[in-house]
């Protein structure tokens, strides 16, 4: 049982681990548990896995009324978790972060099941810091986050990346293109500030338009507005509210403009892509800036704060990078050197050890 989700940052590592369990033994059964409002509701079945949902929601950043409703739903989420665990009887329960992770993992621990969590970010979230006191094993993506957990049961695994992105040769098999391709996305729900900055940057990139091809995941809210901006400025652009075929987007990209969620960073490392990273400024404990430090310190990415990201500034950085192919090549090589493509397999092996079947 893999519990969590809500956003791609939690869901996609869960799917990568599910794939690895299936690769290990085809008869393995995986049940994902999430919420009805999370990204998992539209993605999990598409990927061929079973999904159960529980009534759970977050409280951070919500109104007083929404927080009250979430807290009132907590007993129900625990009862639903108990019911799922008793009917499923899993060999192991893995929490990957997100709203559903807490009640499911906590209930599983109380019932005596083998439990583990995976922490994606450099600075762990409150839920995982609490769950870390109870679970049998803790898997972390960044070495920095290990200091927040008990040393004896914490393992550095990296962040699992889906097979479609981890596929050998995804970049090498890319067909040469006449145009420089920029891939822009702000996570599974889009990022309004990135969308606005790129719209503004188009004015300053007009003389470069014949050299550029842009792939842009906007999120649903900004989709129409961003698409119209590219059409108005006559840029060659593929604009989508959401991109399922991320492997294609990464394969075509020369440079990525994105937030600094852990899952995004490990996908960039796996594909060996240079990036302009704009950490989400309201992330808990500023964990996206801490995440980004790994790639920036290695010379694999350029960091731009959310406040500094304007159309003028973005266009200037893009021009500098596009005009310097040796630098771009070196950034990509340094990103690839940080990759941990076997993260999901490491987690599966450690899970097998937990149940005495290593």
Co-location of 85 and 187 in the same domain? no
In this structure, the answer to whether residues 53 and 131 fall within a common structural domain is yes
**Is residue 59 over pLDDT 80?**
no
56-60, 122-126, 152-156, 257-261: least confident range = 56-60
Same domain, 111 and 184: no
Q: What is the pLDDT of residue 63?
A: 54
Q: What percent of the chain has pLDDT over 90?
A: 82
| Claim to verify: residue 191 and residue 96 sit in the same structural domain | no
**Number of domains observed in the structure of the chain:** 2
pLDDT at position 50 over 70: yes
Residue 189 and residue 121 in one domain: no
Judged against a pLDDT cut of 70, whether residue 262 lies above it is answered with: yes
Read off the DSSP letter of residue 199: H
Q: The domain spanning residue 249 has which CATH number?
A: 3.40.50.2000
Residue range 148-164: mean pLDDT, rounded: 95
Q: Using alpha carbons only, what angle is made at residue 35 by residues 64 and 70, rounded to the nearest 5 degrees?
A: 20
Q: Dihedral, CA atoms, 32, 61, 224, 259, nearest 10 degrees?
A: -70
Q: Are residues 348 and 326 in the same domain?
A: no
Partners of 209 in beta bridges: none
Same domain, 126 and 233: no
Phi-psi region of 240 (alpha: psi -120 to 50; beta: other; left: phi over 0): beta
> b vs e for 197-217, b when ≥16 Cβ sit within 10 Å of the residue's Cβ?
bbbbbbebbeebbeebbbbbb
pLDDT more than 70, % of the chain: 92
Q: Is the domain of 32 the same as that of 143?
A: yes
- Domain extent, residue 187, equals 166-337
In a shared domain, residues 231 and 133: no
DSSP 340: -
Model pTM?
0.91
Statement to judge: residues 174 and 312 lie in one domain:
yes
- Where residue 168 falls (left for φ over 0; alpha for ψ -120 to 50; beta otherwise) is beta
pLDDT at residue 83 greater than cutoff 80: yes
Answer yes or no: do 153 and 235 share one domain.
no
Same domain flag for 38 and 109: yes
Six-digit token string for 95: 């929490």
Q: Is the pLDDT of residue 322 over 90?
A: yes
């Amino acid at each position: 049982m893999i519990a969590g989700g809500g956003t791609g940052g939690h869901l996609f590592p869960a799917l990568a681990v599910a794939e690895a369990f299936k690769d290990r033994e085809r008869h393995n059964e995986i049940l994902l548990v999430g919420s009805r409002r999370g990204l998992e509701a539209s993605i999990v079945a598409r990927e061929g896995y079973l999904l159960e949902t529980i009534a759970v929601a977050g409280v951070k950043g919500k109104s007083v009324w929404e927080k009250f409703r979430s807290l009132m739903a907590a007993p129900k989420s625990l009862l639903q978790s108990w019911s799922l665990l008793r009917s499923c009887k899993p060999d192991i329960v893995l929490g990957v972060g997100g709203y559903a992770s807490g009640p499911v993992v906590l209930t599983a621990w109380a019932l005596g099941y083998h439990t583990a969590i995976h922490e994606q970010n450099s600075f762990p979230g409150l839920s995982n810091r609490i769950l870390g006191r109870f679970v049998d094993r803790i898997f972390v993506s960044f070495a920095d986050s290990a200091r927040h957990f008990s040393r004896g049961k914490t393992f550095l695994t990296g962040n699992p990346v889906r097979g479609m992105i981890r596929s050998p040769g995804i970049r090498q098999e890319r067909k040469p293109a006449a145009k420089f391709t920029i891939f822009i996305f702000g996570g599974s729900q889009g990022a309004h500030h990135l969308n606005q900055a790129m719209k503004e940057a188009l004015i300053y990139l007009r003389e470069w338009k014949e050299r550029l091809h842009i792939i842009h995941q906007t999120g649903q809210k900004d989709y129409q507005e961003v698409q119209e901006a590219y059409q108005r400025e006559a840029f060659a652009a593929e604009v989508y509210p959401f991109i399922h075929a991320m492997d294609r987007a990464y394969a075509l990209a020369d440079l990525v403009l994105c937030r600094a969620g852990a899952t995004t960073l490990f996908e960039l490392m796996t594909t060996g892509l240079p990036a302009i990273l704009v950490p989400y400024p309201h992330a808990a404990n500023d964990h996206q800036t801490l995440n980004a430090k790994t790639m920036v310190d290695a010379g694999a990415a350029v960091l731009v704060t959310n406040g500094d990201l304007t159309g003028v500034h973005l266009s200037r950085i893009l021009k500098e990078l596009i005009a310097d192919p040796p630098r771009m090549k070196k950034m990509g090589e340094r990103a690839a050197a940080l990759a941990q493509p076997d993260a999901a397999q490491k987690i599966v092996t450690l899970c097998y050890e937990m149940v005495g079947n290593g």
